[in-house]
Structure 1
Amino acid sequence: MMDDEAYALGRLPDDHCWSILKEKVVGGGEVPDELQAIKERVIKRCDGLPLAASVIGGLLRLKRKKEWRSILENRLLSLSAGGDHVMQILKLSFDNLPSPYIKKCFAYCCIFPKDSKIERNMLIELWMGEGFLQTDVKSQTMMEEIGMNYLRILLQSSLFEEIIDESDYPSKTCYQMHDLVHDLSESMSKSTKVINDRDTCIVDNGDQIRYLAIDSFGGGEDRDKLLESLSTSLHTLFVNVDLSGDMLMKLKNLYVLNLSYTTTEELPVSIGKLIHLRYVNLKRSAIGILPDSLCKLYNLQTLTLSYSKVKDLPKGIRDLISLRHLHYDISDNDFQMPLEMGRLTCLQTLEFFNVGREKGRQIEELGSLKNLKGKLEIRNLELVKGKEGAEEAKLSEKANLFGLVLQWACEREGDDYNDEDVLDGLRPHPNLEELVIWNFMGDQFPHG
């Protein structure tokens, strides 16, 4: 066989299709009579294709057992044979998603290129920024929990595949879509336009475009013309090329701005005019300075600065009263936190807190951040005044923190340390899974 000769993959045997389908419906559990009764006909609809088996299994899992025969007879058996057989099954799975909001979330994902590894938290934060995660007024459920539930449903439906991306540290849970599933997502979204350097910038349904991704094309003039034509309709913009302040200011209805990997070194001051912005992503960008006007974005929920060149946070960040996720870490113990971070009472993600000497930068700022979750690193603990001071952080009440790093300075003057008392006052909630302690100078850990 020649190296460049295509090898035709055969169809899976029926018993392999049955294994995939059965695993999807019941996991390792016992096969119910309702599934056994339709086994032969369901296997036939898989047509030896693993994706079809997985998607049909996911569809049945989301439905009640008494509906299975009806789905088979009224929907699956009516599918036409032919090359688009799998696409018909995928469309059927999409049609049976339990809410229009989940369908919107799925269709939105076509803004990512095929084969993309889409990070879980980023995806939920984007959906949240677009307003797809609607909470019930009577319910205590957070938008992030609704997003997690939508992801579970899309996984069960085999429209998403979960993978662990170890290219970053720490490793992250990500999602991918099969190429055919991505095609389905594209066909379900009439409001998304993705432009790369191989495309022209003509948009035929410009008045309907809500979500736009631009991967360097043409000159700045072409790009500005395109953005101008979409300025009132655009809600999401992914762009990794220079964006002028004048152009940015025109995008008045923007909810989501993703400038990750951009070569722009300065974020335009005019960003403060985009009062509807809920999501700003500057990950791995060349941007080094954040303008004070950013702090006028009172609807901002997510600010991602991971691996960017930002060395300081704006002084007025305490005014971002809707901020839920601040993705930012800088390994500099001399870094000063902005004053009064404790006013950000919606905050869930805070990667580190450097304790300072002056009021507004002391450990008590953490006390009012009741919703913190995930991992938190607290540094400069030598500046905390004893057990009572440490207790003001109220770590024992933060049930959603699973990882905690406590760090004292490695070089200190004198030998009158209060590390044992401080550690005693920093007792975490019993839900904590991981505790790391650096440069602790006490003789023993607290008891009880």
Structure 2
Amino acid sequence: MEAQKNIKVECLAWQESWDLFQKKVGQDTLDSHAEIPMLAEVVAKECCGLPLALVIIGRAMACKKTTEEWNYAINVLQRAASIFPGMGDRVFPILKFSFDSLPSDAIKSCFLYCSLFPEDFNILKENLIDYWIGEGFLHEFDACLLEKSSRDIIRMHDVVRDMALWIAYEHGKVKDEFFVRTRVGLIEAPEFTRWVSAKRISLMENRIEKLTGAPPCPNLLTLFLDLNNLRMITNGFFQFMPDLRVLSLSRNRWLTEIPLEICNLVSLQYLDLSHTNIRLLPIELKNLQNLKCLNLNFTQILYVIPRHLISSFSLLRVLRMYSCDFSDELTNCSVLSGGNEDLLEELESLKQLHDLSITLESATALLRICDSKLQSCTRDVYLKILYGVTSLNISSLENMKRLEKLCISNCSTLESLEIDYVGEEKKLLASYNLHNSMVRSHKCFNSLKHVRIDSCPILKDLTWLIFAPNLIHLGVVFCPKMEKKLKSIYWKALRVPHLKEIRVRSCPQLKKLPLNSNSTAGCGTVIYGEKYWANELEWEDEGSRHAFLPCFISW
């Protein structure tokens, strides 16, 4: 019999979890020592609301009446839950039934891949899709279907992650295909003997500063080195990784150059250098002819990308260059010089490009991208330092049907952002009859979710946001001239049912937000701002004040 309706079963809330755990442990054990109730709470929280784990672990602890036994249990659960009595032989086998029921080996591989990240880690959906494509789990069509999901962040339940690692280590076709040492305080790489049989290695969130030697990794497909303190990777380190497909060095702020050996990883399909301080990309990267995803987001002092390098990646599907602030040391040999128009010319030659995040430094470059085939694949736009521009018409952005994120930053002369209100749009704006269904039928930015306006000191209003009905995050920072008479954003309350967050800093003239008690009903909006600013805000009525004041968090 097939299911008639799918019902999402949530984990238990804390009080329900604690009540169930206490019941299984028993009052006699809880009363056996004054510290045990406190330790028992720690153990119960390790179960993260999963009823099966609460029952099995609670029963296992029912006979433990010393603090030493409880502290040992906490250590085991936090270090390797699979060796806790009852987990490896009772809890995980039951959970594994769900894993075994997944419809294909590819989906099973995607699931196990999530265990490479640290416990409670927020995994960006877009990055996860890129990894899976790089590994070969997904094809482009599958990725397009996944991109339609409304969730931007994925987090794996702690117990489910432990189960996934248990499967990867103990029940794979070959044991030890996964080697995961995340968030364990490593200051150097683990012994290379564990690397030999591994296909996937994750050393995320440690304190490793230097990688030396030449680990033998004939089978390695994925290597995660994110969130370390890497300063140097010596020659030879990547020498014996012939099949490496996914390499992530993201969030290593001390990393200023990449070793040339990476240019010889000819099987590489995904390379993540985001949030590093690399200064140049070597022309030898041309060797990476299988590269499909290149992430350069937030490489804030990158100043050299050799001409014809980007255009040489003929299979490139994803390019992320959001908030690439570029250095003042730009040279003519770099495609980044000349207001980004040379870069756009190279991007236009990439036939496989599907997903683009881009930083632009001229209004001319913005007009060019909006009038080219790139508009159909552009997801994120970062506009910065538009010298001499006093007014910017952003109507052309409406043609970017996939645009999700827009930032306008450090535009010292920018006074206004304009949009062409014509025909019905103008009537709509004037009458302010703005139900979401009506907004979607008119010219607007339906896909836009994240907007940040930063350091635009004479910009006066954001009226155009009336046509962004699906906005989730709004940030306005260091914009002291926002006009009170226009309430800076709109003069009436907007209905923005998806709005989750507003951030405001150093905008003293912003006296009223376009919100009332009905604007974000049930959305749980959080508003960040200075305390003095929050105290001086004007509200449409007392109901609005009472609805949003509890949502404030001071900077």
Same fold (TM over 0.5): yes
Distance 2:270 2:43 in 1: 44
Distance 1:107 1:295 in 2: 32
2:356–2:379 contact (8 Å) kept in structure 1: yes
Q: Aligned partners of 1:249 and 1:93: how far apart in 2? A: 39
Q: Does 1:100 align with 2:115?
A: no
Q: Distance in 2 between matches of 1:185 and 1:440?
A: 51
| In 2, Cα distance between equivalents of 1:243 and 1:410 | 40
Structure 1 contact 382–419 (Cα < 8 Å) conserved: no
Alignment partner of 2:402 out of 400, 411, 423: 400
Match of 1:256 among 246, 250, 254: 246
Q: Report the 3-state secondary structure (helix = DSSP H, G, I; strand = E; otherwise coil) of the residue aligned with 2:223.
A: strand
Equivalent position of 2:178 in the other structure: 192
Q: Quick one: structure 1 residues 304 and 100, their matched pair in 2 at CA, closer, same or farther if it must change by over 3 Å?
A: same
Displacement of 1:324: 1.1
Are 1:342 and 1:368, in contact at CA under 8 Å, matched by a contact in 2?
yes
Instruction: Decide whether aligned partners of structure 1 residues 432 and 9 sit closer, same or farther in structure 2, where only a CA change above 3 A counts.
Output: closer
What is the distance in 2 between the residues matched to 1:267 and 1:199?
18
Q: Residue 175 of structure 1 is aligned with which of 151, 155, 165?
A: 155
Deviation readout 1:144-170 (Å, 9 max, x if unpaired): 534777xx9xxxxxxxxx8xxxxxxxx
Structure 2 SS opposite 1:401: coil
Change (3 A) 1:11 1:48: farther
Looking at structure 1, the residues matched to 266 and 37 of structure 2 have their Cα atoms a distance apart, in angstroms, of 56
Cα distance in structure 2, aligned partners of 1:383 and 1:295: 36
- 1:116-165: CA deviation from partner (whole Å, max 9, x where unpaired): 33332222221121111135xxxxx352534777xx9xxxxxxxxx8xxx
Q: Percent identity?
A: 21
Cα offset for 1:97? 1.4
Distance in 1 between residues matched to 2:350 and 2:390, nearest whole Å: 21
Give the TM-score, by structure 1 length.
0.60
Output the CA distance in 2 between the equivalents of 1:99 and 1:276: 25
Q: Which residue identity is paired with 2:368?
A: E
Hey, what does 1:302 align to over in structure 2? 293
Question: Which of 332, 355, 364 is matched with 2:368 structurally?
Answer: 364
Which of 109, 114, 117 is 2:119 aligned to? 114
Which residue of 271, 274, 288 corresponds with 2:279?
288
Matches within 5 A, 1:54-65: none
Alpha-carbon deviation of 1:328?
3.2
1:94, distance to aligned residue in structure 2 (A): 0.6
User: Counterparts of 2:43 and 2:300 in 1: how far apart (Å)?
Assistant: 51
- Distance change >3 Å, CA 224–CA 183, structure 1 → 2: farther
Match of 2:94, SS? helix
For the structure 1 residues 46 and 99, does the alpha-carbon distance in structure 2 shift closer, same or farther, using more than 3 Å as the test?
same
Counterpart residue type for residue 132 of structure 1: F
Unaligned runs of 5+ in 2: 1-32, 58-84, 329-336, 423-441, 468-555
Q: 1:89 aligns with which of 85, 88, 94?
A: 94
1:157 matched residue in structure 2: none
Distance in 1 between residues matched to 2:368 and 2:361, nearest whole Å? 12
DSSP-derived class of the 2:290 partner? coil
**What is the DSSP-based 3-state SS (H/G/I as helix, E as strand, rest coil) of the residue aligned with 1:224?**
coil
Q: How many residues align?
A: 344
Q: Secondary structure at the match of 1:133?
A: coil
1:129 to 1:285, Cα distance in 2 relative to 1, 3 A: same
1:319 to 304, 312, 316: 312
Retained in 2: the 8 A contact 1:120–1:173?
Answer: yes
Please state how far the C-alpha of 1:296 moved relative to its aligned partner: 4.3
Letter in 2 for 1:352: T
Distance across 1 between alignment mates of 2:381 and 2:299: 19
Residue 205 (structure 1) shift: 8.0
Cα RMSD (Å): 4.8
SS of the equivalent of 1:280 reads strand
Task: Give the letter for the 2:109 counterpart.
Answer: K
Instruction: Tell me if the contact between 1:268 and 1:291 (Cα under 8 Å) persists in the aligned partners.
Output: no
Distance 1:277 1:250 in 2: 13
Asked if 1 retains the 8 angstrom alpha-carbon contact of 2:321 and 2:358, the reply is yes
Unaligned runs of 5+ in 1: 13-19, 22-44, 52-80, 136-140, 153-161, 163-171
Measure, in 1, the Cα distance between the counterparts of 2:405 and 2:195. Answer: 47
| Aligned CA distance change for structure 1 residues 4 and 284 (closer, same or farther; 3 Å) | farther
1:204, CA displacement in angstroms?
Answer: 6.0
Superposed, 1:131-280 pairs within 5 Å as 131-135=136-140, 141=141, 143-146=143-146, 173-179=153-159, 181-188=161-168, 189=172, 190=175, 191-195=177-181, 196=186, 201=191, 203=193, 206=196, 208-214=197-203, 224-225=213-214, 227=215, 229-230=216-217, 232-239=218-225, 240=228, 241=230, 242-262=232-252, 263-280=254-271
Q: What is the Cα deviation at residue 362 of structure 1?
A: 6.5
Alignment partner of 1:350: what SS?
strand
Q: Distance in 2 between matches of 1:324 and 1:121?
A: 10
Instruction: Answer whether contact 1:284 1:307 (CA < 8 A) is retained.
Output: yes
Name the structure, 1 or 2, with higher relative contact order (CA <8 Å, separation 6+): 1
1:38 corresponds to which residue?
A: none
C-alpha separation in 2, matches of 1:440 and 1:252: 52
Please give the alpha-carbon distance, in whole angstroms, between the structure 1 residues aligned to 2:101 and 2:248.
Answer: 31
SS in structure 1 of the partner of residue 155 of structure 2: strand
State how far apart, in whole Å, the 2-side matches of 1:95 and 1:377 are. 44
Alpha-carbon distance in structure 2 between the residues aligned to 1:362 and 1:114: 40
Residue aligning to 1:75: none
